[in-house]
Structure 1
Amino acid sequence: MADTFDLIILGSGPGGYVAAIRAAQLGLKTAIVERDNLGGICLNWGCIPTKALLRTSEIFHYMKNAANYGLSVEKPAFDLEKVIKRSRDVAKQLNQGVTGLMRKNKITVYFGDGKITAKGKLSVEKDGKTSELEAKNIIIATGARARDLPFAKADGQRIWTYRTAMTPPEMPTKLLVIGSGAIGIEFASFYNDMGAEVNVVEMLDRILPVEDVEISEFMTKALTKQGMKIRASTGVQKITASATGITAEIKAKDGTVTTEDYSHVIVAVGIVPNVENIGLEALGVEPDKRGHIKTDEFCRTNVEGIYAIGDVADGPWLAHKASHEGIIAAELIAGGHPHPMNRGNIPGCTYCHPQVASVGMTEAKAKEAGYKVKVGKFPFIGNGKAIALGEAEGFVKTVFDEATGELLGAHMVGAEVTELIQGYTIGRTLETTEAELIETVFPHPTLSEMMHESVLMAYGRVIHY
């Protein structure tokens, strides 16, 4: 006989396990199916362990620049094996935490390959044994994987995706990074700080292409100043790997093709949704043109009782978006009335050095949408805390609707902006205008004062610049 539940969740990443916990809180008998490790890619091979690596490179950067703080560090060095071990230990600790949360919330966990066999039915195969499950509702949270280039299949030796880049068999000496989204730039930043010679190639006309143009321009200059070679409007045509390195054919904007040698290459050109072999075709679950599962604002697919959340569905492909979708879906299934997903209020963060963070529309997108805008831009050099930290490079930019004072978007680059951005995210969720932000008291001395000053700048009231 099949094990029966109110809800089955296929995948235990930040979307799946959060959905399971919320469903259990709401009284639903819940099961979760995972083929690998609880916590999914984000916790085990993505968001968390990469931040552990980046913390190491940040400290190493400060060690190399200790003299700027009146300190002396002789011959700073690192042990790559220990750097990787720390990152893996962090991931292991959090994996164990998710395991504990499943027990605490009485969620049944099945390990194995899950497949939807019919409406409301799912089988799990593990070591030749099959478990049959039934539930009125199923949430697909199978995530995504790194996209390979057709001419550069990852080999784990010289051609890497993010997974190998987190547990490198050796330290690159000269590294080519293909793609300048968040993943590409984070690894470029890590390896550059750790001493590798880093080259970044981007097919589009600027790096971090989803960010505001001014952010992209600033980051190009900042990364170049750090020693990276940044090339936009440039593509890689061919990669040949050998035992000692790789050779890449790179085509510049003007059509010139050069042949260049590197020790390693990281391919960071996007993701592919994990939709294969989970039974979607038989049910008629509809994909979008990129192969991700189509959903509405409540995470419902075109098939009744089937939901999709996280990277397997539409973007932005971020862990916190997946978690929020999981809560929306769980609450709807439990008979609640959750707010629909508002993608315009999902913040994005890139944990490079300096950090990048944003929420809402860029200035260009706001103008394209027909808004007449007011824009404020306040530099880190005008903030006392930033100067005291020795982190005086960067700025905060805010974009408002001139007619209503609505905060349309906020964009930041500099120290700790991935923490600061949530203030503007809350503001957008509360439909805050410039009036409330201007009247808010910001603590001193903090980096957050720049958020206030940027708003004041937009309305001709800036104090410290």
Structure 2
Amino acid sequence: SKFAQKQFEKQGMKIILEAKVTKVEKGANSVTAHVEMKDGKVEKITADRMISAVGVQGNIENLGLEALGVKTERGCVVVDGYGNTNVPGIYAIGDVAGPPMLAHKAEHEGVVCVEKIANFPGVHATDKLKIPGCTYCNPQVASVGLTEAKAKAEGKDIRVGRFQFAANGKAIALGEDQGFVKTIFDKKTGQLLGAHMVGAEVTELIQGFVVAMNLETTEEELMHTIFPHPTLSEMMKESVLDAYGRALNA
């Protein structure tokens, strides 16, 4: 997030953290937001337009869930990996079933839920840890699995690999040399715990790590995988190699 913030600031954006909008005034051709800063002072910011991006919340009101005894928590229906609630015959998927509130997560949950109801063989529960998240800004941001901080908080012994876009030939040729790829591995098992990227087309690249996590691919298997050259995807392998002190183009 710090890297992305620096890139935004280079583009002329002003980022204000730990603040909240307390009031909005609409003018004839402008909008003025009253922003309460960290120190309690209120600053007025005027712009041509304002975008409200305050997140998503599933709507579970007035559905009679309490009368049915369906368990909810923090405004979401509590479900297992198959969409089952605590009441037999009642299921929930998508935003109402809790975060991450993403379209691809909802679609997958729907398929899993229906196939489980229909007794399809080999149905796997949705694993929220393996759901990719993508932010379509410039630079793009993509991630899956645990962050380095989260892995450490869980007491895991980890290896971390990093690789910069500036060392990738394709990124340089495209004029997109600002970004990085980061991978987190379990030091004992070699399991890929998480991957995080910032830069050009990382929302396309992240799926490679999603597949690797679902197949429980180890760092050794990833290191033995041949990536085409010249491509942005080479950075994925370089990040894996870096976690084990074997990066080729650092």
TM range (shorter): over 0.9
Deviations 1:351-399 (A, max 9, x none): 1111111110000000001012111110011111111111111010011
Structure 2 residue corresponding to 1:283, chosen from 52, 68, 82: 68
**Is 1:326 matched up with 2:110?**
yes
**Is 1:265 matched up with 2:50?**
yes
Instruction: Determine the structure 2 residue equivalent to 1:236.
Output: 21
> How many angstroms apart in 2 are the aligned matches of 1:442 and 1:259?
51
Instruction: Determine the structure 2 residue equivalent to 1:184.
Output: none
Alpha-carbon deviation of 1:227? 1.1
Alpha-carbon deviation of 1:454? 0.4
Instruction: Determine the structure 1 residue equivalent to 2:83.
Output: 299
Instruction: Determine the structure 2 residue equivalent to 1:343.
Output: 128
Alpha-carbon deviation of 1:238? 1.7
AA aligned to 1:422 is Q
Instruction: Determine the structure 1 residue equivalent to 2:214.
Output: 429
**Is 1:313 matched up with 2:97?**
yes
Asked if 1 retains the 8 angstrom alpha-carbon contact of 2:94 and 2:109, the reply is yes
Asked if 1 retains the 8 angstrom alpha-carbon contact of 2:58 and 2:98, the reply is no
Which has the larger displacement, 371-380 or 334-343?
A: 334-343
**Aligned to 2:77, what secondary structure does the other structure show?**
coil
Measured on the aligned residues, the alpha-carbon RMSD in Å equals 1.3
AA aligned to 2:87 is V
> How many angstroms apart in 1 are the aligned matches of 2:38 and 2:63?
41
- The TM-score normalised by the length of structure 1 is 0.52
**Aligned to 1:240, what secondary structure does the other structure show?**
strand
Alpha-carbon deviation of 1:281? 3.8
**Aligned to 1:221, what secondary structure does the other structure show?**
helix
Deviations 1:122-175 (A, max 9, x none): xxxxxxxxxxxxxxxxxxxxxxxxxxxxxxxxxxxxxxxxxxxxxxxxxxxxxx
Judging by fraction of residues, say which structure has more helix: 1
- The TM-score normalised by the length of structure 2 is 0.95
Aligned ranges 1:15-54 → 2 under 5 Å = none
Gaps of 5+ in 2: none
Aligned ranges 1:195-206 → 2 under 5 Å = none
Identity of aligned residues (%): 58
Instruction: Determine the structure 1 residue equivalent to 2:191.
Output: 406
AA aligned to 1:246 is V
AA aligned to 1:317 is M
AA aligned to 1:399 is I
Instruction: Determine the structure 2 residue equivalent to 1:76.
Output: none
Gaps of 5+ in 1: 1-215
Alpha-carbon deviation of 1:236? 1.4
- Number of aligned residues: 249
**Aligned to 1:231, what secondary structure does the other structure show?**
coil
Structure 2 residue corresponding to 1:415, chosen from 195, 200, 204: 200
**Aligned to 1:353, what secondary structure does the other structure show?**
coil
Alpha-carbon deviation of 1:237? 1.8
Alpha-carbon deviation of 1:285? 2.3
Alpha-carbon deviation of 1:240? 2.1
AA aligned to 1:297 is G
Alpha-carbon deviation of 1:233? 1.1
Asked if 1 retains the 8 angstrom alpha-carbon contact of 2:79 and 2:92, the reply is yes
Aligned ranges 1:123-162 → 2 under 5 Å = none
Aligned ranges 1:61-80 → 2 under 5 Å = none
The structure having more radius of gyration, on CA atoms, is 1
| Higher RCO structure, 1 or 2 (CA under 8 Å, sep 6+) | 1
Alpha-carbon deviation of 1:316? 0.6
